[in-house]
């Protein structure tokens, strides 16, 4: 294991991020107080203590009521919500060119596009195989309206897009009807950063583009003047931990008119009549914000953005990149005493065009897979929070783990008896394949010691077998396989 000075010698840019160590000691003190190694930033970011303090002070000093009325409490809430909306647009450099629609989370933002996009008979919905299930789910709306659904493949082992296939798929656009391409700016499975110039390339060929930025924006700047998708979805808790329950759909103003809501609700109409059974939708974002907005939490989004701005997203990116570089390097070097590799990493093993999400499986000396559920349990006992499963990204997972269509058909045949255990057992019998993996991900409060603690944990698996580490004792069947999250 490298000492800190050896690590810094290899990653000199880390020294430009030392401000984050000060913040770790003050704003994220709870981590070290609890000796907690948090490695699930792709699942959820962590909030800094001052964000919560500022929000509490606001809540305790302001009288905020249901927005969009003329009372002082209502006007106060409305003005905070609108200030926050402007702050969101400013942060992403979309003032005057984009509309920010507040949603529950990234999934709800994606669903707004899914249900409102004018798919029709013969429309094309083009998805990358590497996508979160919240994007995969668009296909159900598209299919119901007669659209054709196509997946553009990723390559093994890089888990990057196959550019030739993407090029030819983009040429399949049906010129007479609307067509939608949806892809993640950064994979929540492999950390791969997909090329953002695909946005313009697709638009030039007449596609509308939905960019899933949920896993990208916590450690990267998204400048909407440089990359201008028609639609962008994200969750704020992934960026700065707090608040949960607020996400955003950013819509390019020129594309807003093409979205047609399939229903109306309180808050989305300027006029509705029961006798006439008619309604007139509200213009702009209001037509997409169903019911009462989360007006207490939304102001905390502005506080979170300001916190990130004070640090500088580039500083966070640099730190995550340095730590990821080292993590990858050390994991790849880990060997059992017989020389066999301990770890298999899915996706890129260098930091070029990849973020701080690293997905892997561990193998014993004989090359047999170690049960990731047991490893999660062992990590937990050491105060390490990581994530296991397929991370709601079946496309990347199936390819990375070598699961075939036949394997998936066999799994589907398990029917309602399907559980993680039965799925894993089935895949074991089909060539000792893994039905999931371990994911660690880094973020704003990650430091050298976090990576040391994880590498020590991983190193302790050297020369271990399933027999020696034991079997998983908790039952996570109810929340995995089919409902596996984030
Ligand atoms: C790439 C990506 N897209 C979408 C989502 C869905 O986000 P949410 O659960 O906040 O709706 C996630 C969550 O992990 C994600 O990583």
Mutate-to-test residue for ligand 1 from 392, 396, 441, 484, highest number of ligand atoms within 8 A of CB: 392
Residue nearest to atom 7 of ligand 1 (CA): 106
The domain of 441 spans 4-26+36-41+313-479
Mutate-to-test residue for ligand 1 from 108, 134, 229, 357, highest number of ligand atoms within 8 A of CB: 134
Report how many domains make up the chain: 2
CB 134 less than 6 A from any atom of ligand 1: yes
Name the pairing type of β-strands 231-235 and 208-212. parallel
Residue that finishes a domain, picked among 287, 309, 331: 309
Q: Are residues 224 and 279 in the same domain?
A: yes
Residue 49 located in a structural domain:
no
Reported as a single tens digit per residue, the pLDDT across 180-208 is 999 999 999 999 999 999 999 999 999 99
Low-confidence stretches of the chain (pLDDT < 70) are 474-486
Q: Are residues 340 and 438 in the same domain?
A: yes
Residue that finishes a domain, picked among 309, 328, 361: 309
Q: How many CB atoms lie within 10 A of CB 146?
A: 12
CB 486 less than 6 A from any atom of ligand 1: yes
Residue that finishes a domain, picked among 270, 289, 309: 309
Q: Are residues 337 and 429 in the same domain?
A: yes
- Can you read off the two tokens belonging to residue 383? 């105060």
Residue 486 located in a structural domain:
no
Q: Determine the Cα–Cα distance for residues 102 and 213; give it in Å rounded to an integer.
A: 15
Residue 111 located in a structural domain:
yes
Q: Which helix (H) or strand (E) holds 210?
A: strand 208-212
Ligand 1 mean position to 228 CA, how many Å? 20
Judge whether 7 and 319 are in contact, CB under 8 Å: no
Residue 99 located in a structural domain:
yes
CB 111 less than 6 A from any atom of ligand 1: no
Q: What is the CATH number of the domain that holds 128?
A: 3.40.640.10
Q: Are residues 163 and 106 in the same domain?
A: yes
Residue 460 located in a structural domain:
yes
Q: Are residues 132 and 217 in the same domain?
A: yes
CB 214 less than 6 A from any atom of ligand 1: yes
Residue 485 located in a structural domain:
no
Residue 476's pLDDT is 54
φ and ψ of 160, to 5 deg: -95, 160
Distance (Å) of CA 46 to CA 50, 51, 149, 244: 12, 11, 36, 11
Q: Are residues 109 and 249 in the same domain?
A: yes
Ligand 1 mean position to 106 CA, how many Å? 6
Which is the catalytic residue, given 248, 390, 392, 479? 392
Q: Determine the Cα–Cα distance for residues 182 and 276; give it in Å rounded to an integer.
A: 38
CB 321 less than 6 A from any atom of ligand 1: no
CB 232 less than 6 A from any atom of ligand 1: no
CA angle in degrees (0–180, nearest 5) for 385-386-387? 130
Q: What is the CATH number of the domain that holds 417?
A: 3.90.1150.10
CB 99 less than 6 A from any atom of ligand 1: no
Q: Are residues 305 and 317 in the same domain?
A: no
CB 188 less than 6 A from any atom of ligand 1: yes
Q: Relative to the CA of 109, which ligand 1 atom is closest?
A: 11
Mutate-to-test residue for ligand 1 from 132, 218, 397, 479, highest number of ligand atoms within 8 A of CB: 132
Reported as a single tens digit per residue, the pLDDT across 285-321 is 999 999 999 999 999 999 999 999 999 999 999 999 9
Q: Relative to the CA of 247, which ligand 1 atom is closest?
A: 10
Q: Are residues 340 and 458 in the same domain?
A: yes
Q: Are residues 324 and 292 in the same domain?
A: no
Residue 137 located in a structural domain:
yes
- 282: DSSP letter: P
Residue 202's pLDDT is 98
248 is catalytic: no
For the CA atoms of 459, 391, 350, 431, the dihedral, rounded to the nearest 10 degrees, stands at 70
Q: Are residues 165 and 140 in the same domain?
A: yes
Q: Relative to the CA of 213, which ligand 1 atom is closest?
A: 1
| Closest by CA position to 156, among listed 399, 434, 433 | 399
Mutate-to-test residue for ligand 1 from 137, 235, 236, 355, highest number of ligand atoms within 8 A of CB: 235
Residue 47 located in a structural domain:
no
Residue nearest to atom 14 of ligand 1 (CA): 486
Q: Are residues 340 and 224 in the same domain?
A: no
Q: Are residues 293 and 332 in the same domain?
A: no
CB 184 less than 6 A from any atom of ligand 1: yes
């Amino acid at each position: 294991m490298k000492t800190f000075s050896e690590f810094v010698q290899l990653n000199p840019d880390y020294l430009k991020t030392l401000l984050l160590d000060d913040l770790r000691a003050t704003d994220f003190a709870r981590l070290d107080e609890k000796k907690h190694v948090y490695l699930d930033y792709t699942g959820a970011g962590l909030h800094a203590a001052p964000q919560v303090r500022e929000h509490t002070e606001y809540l305790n000093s302001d009288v905020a009521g249901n927005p969009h009325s003329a009372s002082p409490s209502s006007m106060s809430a409305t003005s905070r919500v609108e200030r926050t909306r402007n702050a969101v647009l400013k942060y992403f450099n979309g003032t005057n060119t984009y509309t920010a629609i507040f949603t529950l989370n990234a999934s709800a933002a994606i669903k707004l596009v899914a249900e409102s996009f004018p798919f029709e008979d013969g429309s094309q919905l083009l998805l990358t195989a590497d996508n979160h299930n919240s994007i995969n789910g668009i296909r159900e709306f598209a299919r119901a309206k007669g659209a054709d659904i196509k997946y553009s493949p990723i390559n093994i082992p890089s888990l990057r897009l196959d550019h030739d296939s993407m090029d030819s798929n983009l040429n399949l656009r049906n010129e007479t009807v609307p067509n939608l391409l949806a892809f993640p700016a950064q994979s929540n499975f492999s950390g791969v950063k997909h090329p953002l110039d695909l946005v313009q390339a697709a638009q030039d060929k007449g596609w509308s583009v939905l960019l899933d930025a949920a896993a990208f924006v916590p450690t990267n700047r998204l400048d909407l003047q440089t990359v201008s998708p028609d639609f962008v979805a994200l969750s704020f808790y992934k960026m700065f931990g707090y608040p949960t329950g607020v996400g955003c759909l950013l819509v390019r103003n020129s594309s807003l008119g093409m979205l047609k809501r399939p229903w109306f609700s309180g808050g989305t109409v300027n006029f509705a009549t029961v006798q006439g059974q008619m309604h007139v939708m509200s213009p702009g974002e209001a037509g997409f914000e169903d019911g009462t907005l989360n007006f207490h939490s939304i102001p905390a989004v502005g506080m979170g953005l300001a916190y990130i701005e004070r640090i500088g997203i580039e500083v966070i990116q640099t730190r995550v990149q340095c730590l990821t570089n080292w993590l990858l390097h050390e994991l790849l070097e880990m060997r059992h005493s017989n020389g066999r590799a301990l770890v298999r990493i899915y996706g890129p093993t260098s930091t070029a065009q990849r973020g701080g999400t690293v997905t892997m499986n561990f193998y014993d000396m004989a090359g047999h897979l170690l049960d990731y559920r047991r490893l999660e349990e062992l990590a937990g006992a050491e105060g390490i929070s990581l994530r296991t499963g397929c991370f709601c990204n079946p496309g990347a997972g199936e390819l990375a783990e070598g699961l075939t269509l036949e394997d998936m058909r066999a799994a589907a045949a398990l029917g309602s008896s399907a559980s993680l255990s039965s799925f894993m057992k089935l895949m074991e019998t089909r060539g000792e394949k893994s039905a999931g993996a371990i994911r660690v991900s880094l973020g704003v409060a990650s430091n050298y010691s976090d990576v040391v603690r994880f590498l020590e944990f991983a190193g302790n698996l050297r020369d271990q077998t399933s027999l020696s580490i034991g079997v998983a004792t908790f039952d996570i069947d109810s929340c995995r396989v089919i409902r596996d999250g984030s």
